[in-house]
Amino acid sequence: FTSMFDFSFARVWRIVRVSRAVKLVRTFSWVRKLRLMIASIMSSLLSLMWAFILLFSLLYLFAVFILQGVVGFLGSSNLADIHPALLQHYGSILTACYTLFKSIAGGDDWGDLAEPLESISRTYLV
């Protein structure tokens, strides 16, 4: 019974010491600035989420626009063998979204990715 009491007392004493250390750390000015920065980041997460939703919605919209042009161009004649890069970069909605994301995120150069679209229309190059 006494060993259990000593063990629980030591645990409580350790928690008290840790809480004192945390209180001491809070008093440092750089910790206050760090807490302010973390609070600012946490409060801006909702705005960041809406910015990502807007970005991916526009990405999806332009991918659908480009994909309709590619399907119309390749559907009018059997040109899939002549333009394999069209199918590689713009063959489905997922690959078109991924291609557009790579172009805005710096993964690939837009000039290289837009080159196959030039055979369809110069409108897609803008």
Q: Tokens at residue 89, please?
A: 């970069």
Is the pTM for the entire model greater than 0.85? no
Read off the pLDDT band of 1 (50, 70, 90).
very low
DSSP string, 66-101: HHHHHHHHHHHTT-TTT-HHHHHHHSSHHHHHHHHH
Q: Output DSSP code: residue 44.
A: T
Q: What pLDDT digit, counting tens, does each position of 59-86 carry? A: 999 999 999 988 888 776 666 566 788 8
Which pLDDT score is estimated for 79?
61
Phi/psi for 113 (5° steps) reads: -75, -25
Which pLDDT score is estimated for 4?
53
Report which of residues 124 and 64 the model is more confident about.
64
Q: What pLDDT digit, counting tens, does each position of 100-119 carry? A: 999 999 888 888 888 888 88
